[in-house]
Amino acid sequence: MTVLLTWVTTDAERTLIRDTWPDDDQVVAMDELTDDELGALLPDVTVMVGYMRTIPRHRLSEATGLRMVHLLGHGVDQLLTEEVVELLRDRGVVVARSNPCAIPIAEFVVMNMIALSRRVLSMHTALAGRGDWSNDLVARRGQGVLGGELHGATLGIIGYGNIGREIHSRVTAFGMRVRAVARRPNDLTDAGLEYVHPWADMSAFLGRCEHIVLTLPLTAQTRGLIGREQVQAMRPGSFLYNVSRGALVDEDALFDGLSSGHLAGAALDVFASEDTVGRTGYPFSRPLHQFNTVLTPHYSGATAEARRRALTTVGENLRRLRAGQPVSNQAGLDRGF
């Protein structure tokens, strides 16, 4: 098979590919080809591997021998446009995901839950920047000005997939209760959750949790899921964590919820601006950082271990494809995830 790498690989990645992928596949890096060379190669390409933003969607029609598109991450929302879905479906092309980042994202969420609930950033800034030991705040800790504990608090997970399960397994060690909201609650009866709310019960679900984490895919149905109504439905003094897609959240509504004090904090690893202006500059038009927030550049899953898992999964699926077996982590073209 001819496998086209659509991203710029590192030396470590190339070594891992040599060690874990089938030896007899021809692996070609797209960035090393001229446009004419790419055009000549595309009809022979069996598999494309890369990110949503690097798969050459405008040239997929030229890849007449394509059998699989394999993404290195979790999401497929930017790749599966109506035109691409139709083309892939008509040709019987499989779309697979590596899903490598559940562990680091879960650790990232727990890190931020502790940092925000204990006001770590503001305390660090006061002490390191001004020599302020926050003695007045410490004296008034009984009023909750220094935050609270995770123990006994309730975490609500919206999107109980592989990432949600990894988060769940970790926060129970802190003595937290965990709820989820699901379109098919009966599917989660054995997940060990305190309660599973139906989707129609979203407002009640939000009001029963001190912490809310978004780990669901971006689709036409979930875009703008957390708007003004949902922010107001959240429990006063609660926290929001978004490690999925920025467009799930109305960021103006979130800003206003933080500004009013209704929300105690938020951690955002993703922003709506990524899909418009790209990953450049301050990610929002209003100063979210002035509140009890953590803003990070879509890196919650960016670990060396996750990359090794991603490339190893690709290698396993290449063998499955060659053997005519179902590949793992296959995306549903009609579902969009």
- Per-residue model confidence (pLDDT) at position 34: 97
Query: Within 13 A of 5's CA, how many CA atoms are on the CB side?
Result: 18
* 2-100+304-323 and 102-295 in the same fold: yes
Q: What distance in Å separates the CA atoms of residue 242 and residue 246, rounded to the nearest whole number?
A: 7
pLDDT digit string (tens) for the chain, length 337 residues: 999 999 999 999 999 999 999 999 999 999 999 999 999 999 999 999 999 999 999 999 999 999 999 999 999 998 999 999 999 999 999 999 999 999 999 999 999 999 999 999 999 999 999 999 999 999 999 888 888 999 999 999 999 999 999 999 999 999 999 999 999 999 999 999 999 999 999 999 999 999 999 999 999 999 999 999 999 999 999 999 999 999 999 999 999 999 999 999 999 999 999 988 989 999 999 999 999 999 999 999 999 999 999 999 999 999 999 999 999 999 999 888 8
| Angle at which helices 102-117 and 304-323 cross, to 10° | 150
Please say whether the beta carbons of 249 and 226 come within 8 A: yes
CATH architecture of structural domain 102-295: 3-Layer(aba) Sandwich (3.40)
Domain boundaries, the chain: 2-100+304-323, 102-295
Which residues, in sequence order, are CB contacts of 282 under 8 Å at separation 6+? Answer: none
Query: 70 forms bridges with which residues in the sheet?
Result: 49, 96
**Catalytic residue list:** 245, 274, 298
Radius of gyration of the chain (CA): 22
CATH architecture of structural domain 2-100+304-323: 3-Layer(aba) Sandwich (3.40)
Q: What distance in Å separates the CA atoms of residue 61 and residue 247, rounded to the nearest whole number?
A: 29
